[in-house]
Amino acid sequence: MKVAFLGLGQMGSMMAKNIVSKGLPTTVWNRTASKTDPLVELGAESAPTPLEAVQDADVVVTCLMDDQSIRDLLHAEQGLLAGLQPGATHLCVTTISPALADELAAIHGRHGSSYVSGPVVGRPPQAEAGRLRSFLSGHGDGIESARPVAQTYSANVRVVDGPASAANVAKLCVNYTAISLIEMIGEVYTFAEKSGVDPEVVNEFYQEAFAHPAIKEYANIILDRDFDSSVGFTLQGGHKDVRLMLEHADQTDAKLEIGRIVADKMADAVNEGWQHRDWSVFTEITRRSSVAS
């Protein structure tokens, strides 16, 4: 099996590293070409364009930012579709809108290729350790092709029944849980501080109560107000995800009340110029408004 990996940000570079380390022949591409150097040292090949990266690939993994970046990569003159061979599989690990996932499935169907949504849950440390959780949905044969690739960077690979968009909905559900907990933790720490109680007392409980390492990590990040030294997911990306949650909730008549609170705080945090800090930085808006009051 030959793999192409497109997009080497913090998460993508770690995921690609696992694919290469597991011995799968891999070609990598990134808009900033120098980011391919560490993977080339591990044995990957580097391609100057997406077209050249994917032309011999059985599975193409895309790890980009949002809906528009996926569309741009797909339809560019030197892009993914221009080089993708019929019968190949496109595995998109980006958190995109469910609507785009189904659109991509239709596009690949016409092209003669397979589309699989494969969003992941976890932060860069889990990606580096190959301990992510992957959701897969889409074309049946494509899932079987994509599964061994996803297993290289995942501790758990879960196939979600339904259309291609099903995995994206599952990922948005998990992210909604995460931002709801982050909002709650920020409020609780502020409540403790305003009451003269050291929030470390509450954090000790959180470290016992939360099983998932990422939630424990967020509890520590918010406690220490350290939003810069270990940026796993930027506020810019998080704000995009929350907007996707709310848009899909509106389309399905679901009510995500905490999400609207978080979206407003994230917008305020972006206006403060914090878009490149960890997405949990929006909890500083809670602290700031509490001090102001």
Q: Where does the pLDDT of residue 290 fall: very low under 50, low under 70, confident under 90, or very high at 90 and above?
A: confident
CATH number at 252 reads 1.10.1040.10
pLDDT at 213 over 90: no
82 lies in the same domain as 226: no
Average confidence (pLDDT) over 259-288: 96
Distances (CA, A) of 261 to 180, 266, 286: 9, 9, 11
Domain that holds residue 108: 3-163
CATH number at 8 reads 3.40.50.720
159 lies in the same domain as 186: no
Domain boundary among 114, 147, 163: 163
Domain boundary among 112, 133, 163: 163
In 99-145, which ranges are E strands?
Answer: 114-117, 120-121, 132-138
pLDDT at 292 over 60: no
Average confidence (pLDDT) over 156-168: 97
Domain boundary among 163, 196, 224: 163
Contact 94, 62 (CB under 8 A): yes
Q: What is the DSSP string of 152-219?
A: HHEEEEEE--SSTHHHHHHHHHHHHHHHHHHHHHHHHHHHHHHTT--THHHHHHHHHH--SHHHHHHH
Q: Where does the pLDDT of residue 293 fall: very low under 50, low under 70, confident under 90, or very high at 90 and above?
A: very low
pLDDT at 281 over 80: yes
* Total-model pTM: 0.89
List, for residues 60-118, the tens digit of each pLDDT value.
999 999 999 999 999 999 999 999 999 999 999 999 999 999 999 999 999 999 999 99
Question: How confident is the model at residue 291, as a pLDDT?
Answer: 67
Q: Of 244, 247, 239, whose CA–CA distance to 282 is shortest?
A: 239
The chain-wide mean pLDDT, for the chain, equals 95
112 lies in the same domain as 175: no
Question: How confident is the model at residue 144, as a pLDDT?
Answer: 97
